[in-house]
Amino acid sequence: MEKVVSGIRPTGNLHLGNYFGAVRSFVKMQDEYNCMFFIADWHSLTTHPKPENIQSSARTILAEYLACGIDPEKAPIYVQSDVRETIELYLYLNMNMYLGELERVTTFKEKARQQPDNVNAGLLTYPTLMAADILQHRANKVPVGKDQEQNMEMARKCARRFNNIYGVEFFPEPENFYFADKAVKIPGLDGSGKMGKSTGNCIYLRDDDKTIRKKVMRAVTDNGPEAMNSPRPEVIENLFTFLKIVSAPDVYSYFDEKWNDCTLRYGDLKKQIAEDLCALVAPIRERIEEYSANTELLDRIAARGAEVARASAAATVDEVRRIIGFRR
Ligand code: ADP
Ligand code: TRP
């Protein structure tokens, strides 16, 4: 069966971008593939060198994964730092990655701009660590959002290069997986590009109904449609992106027609999105609360996940050592 792996950094609560871009794919894939999902706590050190409480932020994401519907019986969940085998693979892969190509990665350039006093080597080799996360399980598919495309390209490069240098067909080239064939980008509702923790424009899976309504009703709009069947400006298209993703197709068509014949009232559109979002998020939020209260269960799930992940990674690393020529 094809293998799947993916992870998210524990730098805050999960938001709708994480959910639609990644976690809902995790849930869908667990029934069809051999999946493992993890919490990328090492990766968060590239931007947060001194995290406040590593354990509790990992538990937070774990509870959120479970609340979204990941079943650890089908897809083990583990914490990245519990699998030390990853570091050995990271080291070997780094020997074949070049400074020039790592420096050209857009996320590296962006982070270097955002934290000019901390352009650390971990940030530079972020894609290598991500490749090690994936290749240690010899995974075939990786569910991630659009912003991870370049990191995925680097992971394929690592796999290809290793195979070429040692003359083996050992690592499969991992493909991106998208929920509906195409990457989605969940926009921010404040008129700025994408929803993301660093932009402070997120709707979180933990938000209550009132907060969700407030955030949606505050979404940036314009003066309204001015000519029949005109193209939608970005801020309005952003609202329609939400509508498409959370509301029924006939509801989408209804508002689309209203836009086209210039009778659309943004207040109605926002109310619809807010109600449909609340209906989606409320049961997840309740489950997050239940799981969060049960730290014993969370720790048991993570311990079991670590066992499975370590066995899988150790088998790969043993083989890699043999291929390179080390004693096993
Ligand atoms: P953030 O941008 O909030 O820091 P992460 O970078 O930790 O989020 O992303 C975790 C996962 O969620 C990745 O697979 C990423 O592609 C996906 N993701 C994050 N934000 C969005 C978004 N706005 N639209 C689609 N996917 C997203
Ligand atoms: N870079 C990913 C993000 O920011 C997190 C991540 C780390 C990851 N290692 C991975 C995702 C391996 C998929 C597979 O969201």
pLDDT digits (tens, 9 = 90+) for 283-316: 999 999 999 999 999 999 999 999 999 999 999 9
How far is the CA of 294 from the CAs of 43, 282, 284, 317, in angstroms?
Answer: 26, 19, 16, 34
Out of 28, 146, 185, 197, pick the active-site residue: 197
The pLDDT of residue 328 is above 80: no
Out of 28, 146, 185, 194, pick the active-site residue: 194
Q: Band the pLDDT of 276: cuts 50, 70, 90.
A: very high
The pLDDT of residue 226 is above 80: yes
Asked if residue 130 has its Cβ within 6 Å of ligand 2, the reply is yes
The pLDDT of residue 59 is above 80: yes
C-alpha 22 – ligand 1 centre gap (Å):
7
**Is 28 designated active site?**
no
Asked if residue 145 has its Cβ within 6 Å of ligand 2, the reply is no
Asked if residue 7 has its Cβ within 6 Å of ligand 2, the reply is yes
Phi then psi dihedrals of residue 204, to 5 deg: -95, 155
Phi then psi dihedrals of residue 189, to 5 deg: -95, 5
Q: Band the pLDDT of 99: cuts 50, 70, 90.
A: very high
Mean pLDDT for the chain?
Answer: 96
C-alpha 323 – ligand 1 centre gap (Å):
35
C-alpha 9 – ligand 2 centre gap (Å):
7
**Is 258 designated active site?**
no
Give the residue from 185, 200, 178 showing the smallest Cα distance to 244.
Answer: 185
Distance CA 32, CA 4 (A): 10
Q: Band the pLDDT of 327: cuts 50, 70, 90.
A: confident
